[in-house]
Structures are given as C-alpha cells and as structure tokens.
Amino acid sequence: GDSVTQMEGPVTLSEEAFLTINCTYTATGYPSLFWYVQYPGEGLQLLLKATKADDKGSNKGFEATYRKETTSFHLEKGSVQVSDSAVYFCALSDSIDDKIIFGKGTRLHILP
Amino acid sequence: DGGITQSPKYLFRKEGQNVTLSCEQNLNHDAMYWYRQDPGQGLRLIYYSQIVNDFQKGDIAEGYSVSREKKESFPLTVTSAQKNPTAFYLCASRSNTVSNQPQHFGDGTRLSIL
C-alpha cells in the first residue's frame, strides 16, 4: 500500500541555517503531495502542496519539489527562524483511496 | 471565516465514563476524519466519513464510535471500552468533489483521565 517516510527528528539548527527535511513516498497511482506544520498545542496547518511531477510548492519561504523519478518531496528553507520551530508532516493523497497518508512527523528546534 | 471547530479544547474523563468530542465545519466539505495523536507520535486514523449517514473504521476504531447525521458535524464518542484514551484528538475535513485535495484540521481536543 501507499506509504510516506520522512527523516526522524528532532532536528536542531541555529537561526539562519539552511533546512532540509527529507520525505520519500510509495504510491500506486498519481498522488498529490503535501507538507503540514503543527505548532505546540495546535492542529495541523497546510504549509504547501504539489499535485503533479516537477511541481514546486512554496509558502512562507519553504519550498518542496515533487520528484517522481526519486519519489521524493523534500522540504527546504534557506534561512530558518526561531518561529519555525514546530513538527512537520509529509503526506500524500492518492485518488484511488479517500484517505491521506501521513509520515510520522519531524520535530524541528531552531536555536536563537 | 470558514473553518473547523473542535470543542472542548480540554476534556477530562472518569473511569467507566463515555465522553463525546465535538467537530463542526462550515467549509461545505463532504468528507470528515478523526485522528488520534500520542506524544511524539504521528497521526492514527480512528474513523472517517465520506458522506452523510455513512462512515468507515480507520486503523484504531476499537473503543470509539461516531455518527454523521449532518454534513457539518462529525462527533466522536470515546467509550469506556477504550482503556487508554489519554491523547490529543484531531478532526479534519476535505472536499471530495475534486480529487486529491488537502485536509483542513481543527485545533484539537486534549483528553485526559481523572
């Protein structure tokens, strides 16, 4: 079945560092891919999405490119801030099934 | 503003008691979902509903029940059969008129045992 694998955390970086959180997927169809962010005590917020191969999703300085050849959707940001500290979830939606498959989440700590 | 409202934000359950978590959405979404999140863990699907008066079990449905009498509402009951109910519960909804849409989430309900 479909699955999402993302790098385990926690990831700790200094402010203004470059961020990469890896995410790879397996899917039988042509999925859409998402990154969600969860701040402490809150629900998940959609950060960005990509619906087909080579699409780049971007929002708030974060980017991710849908790479079909490597089945990846890595999250990147050029200069992180303390306010980016949160848990990040990679997810996919396959039109064959009505469910969304989530990765286990990666906790990010940004040090001032 | 459209969105998903979960209530209450905090809930306490006594032993042997059933409790109901509320989830209401005004996004006109057909599909609604309930997830459980334990500390440091990902999301686990409890139940989901793609249309009014119909719902399906997710991966961890035992000890939980749901109803979907209205499009806007999808309440979750944590029954006394759920022996370890302490967790953060998240409700989500999604449009299924267009395929592969993202889910929208509420702010969650934190359930604890007294």
Q: Alpha helices, DSSP H only, in A16-71?
A: none
State percent of chain A over pLDDT 70. 96
User: Mind listing the pLDDT tens digit for each residue in A36-59?
Assistant: 999 988 999 999 999 999 999 999
User: What is the pLDDT, as a whole number, of residue B98?
Assistant: 78
Q: What is the pLDDT along chain A (112 residues), one digit of tens a residue?
A: 889 999 988 999 999 999 999 999 999 878 999 999 999 889 999 999 999 999 999 999 999 999 999 999 999 999 999 999 999 999 999 866 678 899 999 999 999 9
Contact (CB, 8 A) for A93 and A100: yes
Q: Locate A83 and state its tokens.
A: 């306010």
**A62 φ, ψ (degrees, to nearest 5):** -90, 145
The answer to whether A106 faces chain B, any CB pair under 8 Å, is no
For the record, the structure tokens of B94 come out as 């999604």
CA distance B7 to B75: 10
Q: Do the chains contact at A43 and B50, CB–CB below 8 Å?
A: no
From chain B, which residues contact A within 8 Å (Cβ)? Answer: 4, 6, 31, 33, 40-43, 45, 48, 50, 58, 90, 92, 94, 96, 99-108, 110
- Whether residue A98 and residue B104 make contact (CB cut-off 8 A), yes or no, is no
Question: How far is the alpha carbon of B81 from chain A, nearest alpha carbon, in Å?
Answer: 26
pLDDT of residue A95: 66
